[in-house]
A = this chain, B = another copy of it.
């Protein structure tokens, strides 16, 4: 029989929030989803060009994770040269709203944060 923590400690790594934040908090995921929102369907190269500085490796890796999580659909066309298109799944689309909430918070409060930082820093 196991003892149970009485209060708090709700988060122990098995917490779903942890898992999701690990996903969308990584370097590129949020940007890819941002590009694909509004039902956009984009090719690999289009996404790559749309996000400055991402490497093929990381874009491939990010898209694979998103596909595995059921957030993005990957469609390969049997042509030559190959064409591969990506789009958000219905599940992926439901993630756009909370992500937008974060983005809007960032845009609305980034100045306050920056100000707090300089104030904190020059207080030495």
**Chain A residues proximal to chain B, CB less than 8 Å:** 5, 7-13, 16-22, 24-26, 30-31, 34-35, 49-53, 67-71, 91, 94-95, 97-98, 101-107, 109-110, 112-113, 115-117, 119-121
Query: Is the Cβ of A11 less than 8 Å from the Cβ of B51?
Result: yes
- Which listed residue, B9, B18, B95, B120, touches A105 by the CB 8 Å rule? B95
- Most chain B CB within a 10 A radius of its CB, from A26, A97, A106, A116: A106
Residue of B nearest to A31 (CB): B11
Shortest C-beta distance, A111 to chain B (Å), equals 9
- Sample of 13 A–B contacts (CB below 8 Å): A7-B50, A8-B51, A9-B51, A11-B31, A16-B103, A16-B110, A18-B31, A21-B30, A25-B26, A69-B116, A70-B120, A95-B105, A101-B102
Tell me, in angstroms, the Cα distance from A68 to B121 when the chains sit together.
8
14 extra interface residue pairs, beta carbon distance < 8 Å, beyond A69-B113, A70-B116: A11-B31, A11-B52, A16-B106, A17-B34, A17-B107, A18-B30, A20-B105, A20-B113, A21-B24, A21-B102, A24-B102, A91-B112, A95-B105, A98-B102
With known contacts A69-B113, A117-B70, A120-B68, A49–B9 Cβ distance under 8 A:
yes
